[in-house]
Structure 1
């Protein structure tokens, strides 16, 4: 099973988590209520997946590791999109970031993009728990193993800017991730997020 950044993993036994630093008090309560962790972008340890635990607020994030053998239920952003998971919740009537996913799906399908929701919306669709709110942004990833033509990137950014919610798109290139909006501007260098930390690159498909 290939496990990638942004995938969500259900944690059946929180004692299996491997923590290298002191565990904040809020972590146990959050995992009891929301037994899912998000695969984070970091160098893994042998046989261990780097994961992050979400708290109620943005500053409540905690990184640890989960043994690969404990990863029995893994849900990817692409899976959420392929299964149109947002159609299973009546929350789309009150959460704009969920309501627009039908239109996002139409756009991404027409552009032949492999995509999926992440962030609070992706977490809610995967877990079935209410983690998004009325003012939530919509975070997306698109898988771009091959260079994305600039005209297509610019068209996507223009189309998504017309939606009634702020949409942030990260391009996953295979070498790391960068902002679709920044890429579309044709900047000389881009910030590429890699498992070894952020780095400035000219070509996000080639770390060199």
Structure 2
């Protein structure tokens, strides 16, 4: 079964990063042209919620690499979206202004998010917001989280931070996760790409940085490639 659609542009076409759209942004689409060989669940997912998430891959000018979410964790399909078909774009930080539905607020992931929003912490020194299932539910209003769902967040860290700040962020998230009875996975967006906070907090000599050009181990994620 295909996990990514063939691009609607020439394979050798120059590919670029569109600065207006960043990984983890959620896009409501007016339409999405499908190739016909995608999994059947893709059609159901888009009928339920016509939203896709920007993924880390370069596309030809006028297009963006996007992903469709299904009901199960295994249901993820990569595709390509014509930028003219975007109706709404919401970044992770935009979603902090959206309150969950009242009957959903007690879910562990949303309870952890509320703690992070309301409690004074070093997190508030950065631009950040929810991604993953929590972000998708807040953006779309479609129930997506379950009792066992983790909370995923993105923290934008364009400037170098010291080890003490990394450790403080890791402690803050661990405390909020423990209080809510869930797990919080944080990714720092650095000049080299997305880096897991857990890897930085472990003070490993090299960490995996995920960028639109691919993933690679780097010694210093703030040294742009």
So what's the TM-score if we normalise by structure 2? 0.84
Separation in 1 of the partners of 2:135 and 2:74? 19
Structure 1 residue runs without a partner (length 5+): none
* Match runs of 1:110-189 below 5 Å: 111-163=124-176, 164=180, 165-189=182-206
Candidates 2, 27, 43, aligned match of 1:9: 27
Contact 2:24/2:54, CA 8 A, preserved across alignment: yes
Q: How many residues align?
A: 202
Contact 2:122/2:168, CA 8 A, preserved across alignment: no
2:58 matched residue in structure 1? 43
- Is 1:102 the counterpart of 2:120? The answer is no
Separation in 2 of the partners of 1:102 and 1:196? 34
Separation in 2 of the partners of 1:172 and 1:159? 18
Task: Give the secondary-structure state (helix, strand or coil) at the position aligned to 2:27.
Answer: strand
Separation in 2 of the partners of 1:109 and 1:207? 24
What value does the CA root-mean-square deviation take over the aligned residues? 1.8
So what's the TM-score if we normalise by structure 1? 0.90
Structure 2 residue runs without a partner (length 5+): 1-18
1:25 matched residue in structure 2? 40
Separation in 2 of the partners of 1:109 and 1:73? 30
Task: Give the secondary-structure state (helix, strand or coil) at the position aligned to 2:221.
Answer: coil
Contact 1:170/1:178, CA 8 A, preserved across alignment: yes
Change (3 A) 1:91 1:140: farther
Contact 1:201/1:207, CA 8 A, preserved across alignment: no
